Amino acid sequence: RAYTSSQEIKTEIAAVQDEIDSLQAGLTGATDIPAPRAGTYSAVCDGYESVLTEAFLEDVTPGKLNGVKAAAEQSNVGKLIYGDTWYYAVVLPEEQAAELKTMGSINVRLAKGFDQSIRMSVVSVSREENGQAAVVLSSTRYLAQTTLLRHQAADAVLHTYQGLRVPDALRVSADGTTGVYCVDGENASFRPIELVYQGEGYALVKPAEGVRDTQTLRSGDQVIATSGELYDGKVIR
């Protein structure tokens, strides 16, 4: 509707066609690269493709893993990855490697390049070598996001805990019940709890079972953290 004549439309078409012709001219020398089947494309080849293979991982040892070197780069156009399983291999003290072997799977957090926690299966733990062992982990998730990662430090999350986080303010009542004091109007009110995890300066807790509704600790309760004397019903405001 903005055009007032067919000549203006023809002029616009010609301009677009000129741009197309210019872009196509820039493709001179390009060639088609066929692939035997579909896969996940990765733009970078770094020479490890022919070294870090599944066959390499079958009998990997700490010495073998620490001594791995990249081969000469074979491509400058990227690569296709077939399948959806990828691996993370790491050298650990023998005691830590043995612990992972009994767990079967763990959560892994890579140090850089990827922010999410990844659930990985423990594929193998090598024989001991100078007090160390090579551990191989695998995952079938996030391949597209991790394919460009190579040397990575990582944290293994062996255990997780859930609960209400409270300051280091646990108290034991006269009858031996563990709990915390919370602000209830102008008074202190005792809330019985069960300790889930004790951290540095805090604790994860859950409400104790079998208590009155008014004594149940809930998210949002204001916990009193003080070294002073507290008792149920003490006026604090």
* Burial zone of 156 (CB within 10 Å; 0-12 exposed, 13-18 middle, 19+ buried): middle
Residue 31 has pLDDT above 90, yes or no: no
At 190-203, the pLDDT tens digits run 999 999 999 888 99
Residue 26 has pLDDT above 60, yes or no: yes
Q: How far apart are CA 131 and CA 96, in angstroms?
A: 11
Residue 210 has pLDDT above 60, yes or no: yes
pLDDT band at 212 (very low <50, low <70, confident <90, very high): confident
Q: What is the mean pLDDT of residues 181-194?
A: 92
Around 100, how many Cα atoms within 13 Å sit in the side-chain half-sphere? 30
Q: How far is CA 172 from the centre of its chain?
A: 38
Q: What is the pLDDT of residue 75?
A: 62
More confident residue, 27 or 221: 221
Q: What is the mean pLDDT of residues 35-62?
A: 89
Strand order in 187-198's β-sheet? Answer: 164-167, 202-207, 187-198, 178-184, 171-172
- pLDDT > 90 in the chain, percent: 51
Q: Is 232 helix (H, G, I), strand (E, B) or coil?
A: coil
Phi, psi of 117, deg, nearest 5:
-80, 135
Residue 29 has pLDDT above 90, yes or no: no
What are the tokens at 158?
Answer: 């062996």
Q: What is the pLDDT of residue 42?
A: 87
Least confident of 48-52, 53-57, 74-78, 220-224: 74-78
Q: Which helix (H) or strand (E) holds 62?
A: helix 62-66
Q: What is the pLDDT of residue 226?
A: 83
Q: How far apart are CA 68 and CA 134, in angstroms?
A: 13
Enumerate the β-bridge partners of residue 139: 86
Q: What is the mean pLDDT of residues 197-211?
A: 91
The answer to whether the beta carbons of residues 52 and 69 sit under 8 Å apart is no
The answer to whether the beta carbons of residues 169 and 188 sit under 8 Å apart is no
CB burial readout 46-69, b (16+ within 10 A) else e: eebbeebeeebbeebbbebbeeee
Q: What is the mean pLDDT of residues 192-217?
A: 91
* Burial zone of 201 (CB within 10 Å; 0-12 exposed, 13-18 middle, 19+ buried): exposed
